[in-house]
């Protein structure tokens, strides 16, 4: 399997263990994997750098990951229908319920959220224009989001980065954590909206079970976190809702390698 910047091999070692070896043209931030694994557990692969001077001199880096069980969501969901979609979203909520990291998100707001908002507002993209007032309003009060706890978030949760059990559709793994970083609770959970629906012929569709699937994610997310954390979030539920809106906008107007794009 080959990606834009990597080549991935599935290898069986002499002792029978299965690992994933990846060769990349850019270095991985292993901290993203370690933070997620420490919080979420074995659903996150253990990432290890494989130093090789010859490879690195040629502009390539090698990494290994333990191979997680399960099937990629997009394949495992084939023929599962509504029950499968609901089960996966419910299980994802259970996984991310373990994502609490600390008491306040001031650092995440200062280092990641505020700069992202500022560069989007400074952009000349026409697509930004209808949302400029909303974005400015969020920037004006961005420090408020520091009251929310920082949470483990995934940069691109989608149907190829989530592995599921072939039997009950429970989540067995979440892969590809590069570019991921902790954000105030709610900021990246708007992505569940797309996972509760489906893309058909290039268009997004909300099936009959859409609201139930999305609702199960949030129910399990709040239900699985510590009571004290849930109480704080429920006291600030309007701020949580605004964080979801904020995250949805930042997802739409992404900021990568110093450039703002829309997608």
DSSP string for residues in 55-110: HHHTT-EEEEEEPPSSEEHHHHTTTTHHHHHHHHHHHHHHHHTT-B--S--HHHII
Range of the domain at 105: 71-260
Closest Cα to residue 124, out of 263, 224, 220, 260?
260
Nearest CA-CA partner of 187 in 92, 103, 117: 117
Residue given tokens 């483990």 in the structure block: 152
Task: Give the chain's domain count.
Answer: 2
Are 163 and 61 found together in one domain? no
Tens-digit pLDDT profile for residues 214-251: 999 999 999 999 999 999 999 999 999 999 999 999 99
Return d(Cα 262, Cα 34) in angstroms, integer: 29
pLDDT digits over 93-111, tens only? Answer: 999 999 999 999 999 999 9
> Considering the entire predicted model, what is its pTM?
0.93
The bridge status of strand 47-50 relative to strand 6-12 is: unpaired
User: Does residue 57 contact residue 51 with C-beta atoms inside 8 Å?
Assistant: no
3-state helix, strand, coil in the chain (%, to 5): 45, 20, 35
Residues 88, 50 share a domain: no
- Whether 1 maps to a domain, the answer reads no
In this structure, are 187 and 202 located in the same domain?
A: yes
The yes-or-no verdict on residue 164 having pLDDT over 90 is yes
Looking at the structure, tell me whether residues 46 and 81 fall in a common domain. no
């Amino acid at each position: 399997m080959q990606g834009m910047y990597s080549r991935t091999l599935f290898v069986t070692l002499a002792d029978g263990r299965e690992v994933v070896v990846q060769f990349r043209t850019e270095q991985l931030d292993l901290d993203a994997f370690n933070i997620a694994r420490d919080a979420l557990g074995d659903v996150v692969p253990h990432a290890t750098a494989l130093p090789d001077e010859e490879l690195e001199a040629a502009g390539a880096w090698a990494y290994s990951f333990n191979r997680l069980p399960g099937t990629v969501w997009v394949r495992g969901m084939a023929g599962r229908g509504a029950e499968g979609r609901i089960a996966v979203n419910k299980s994802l909520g259970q996984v991310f319920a373990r994502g609490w990291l600390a008491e306040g998100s001031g650092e995440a707001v200062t280092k990641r959220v505020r700069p992202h908002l500022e560069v989007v507002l400074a952009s000349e993209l026409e697509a930004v224009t209808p949302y400029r007032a909303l974005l400015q309003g969020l920037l004006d009060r961005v420090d408020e989001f520091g009251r929310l706890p920082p949470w483990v978030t995934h940069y691109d949760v989608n149907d190829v980065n989530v592995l599921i059990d072939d039997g009950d559709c429970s989540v067995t793994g979440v892969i590809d954590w590069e570019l991921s970083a902790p954000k105030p609770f709610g900021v990246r959970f708007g992505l569940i909206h797309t996972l509760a629906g489906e893309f058909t012929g290039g268009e997004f569709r909300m099936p009959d079970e859409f609201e139930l699937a999305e609702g199960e994610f949030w129910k399990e997310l709040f239900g699985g976190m510590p009571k004290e954390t849930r109480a704080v979030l429920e006291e600030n539920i309007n701020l949580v809702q605004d964080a979801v809106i904020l995250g949805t906008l930042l997802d739409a107007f992404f900021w990568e390698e110093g450039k703002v794009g829309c997608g």
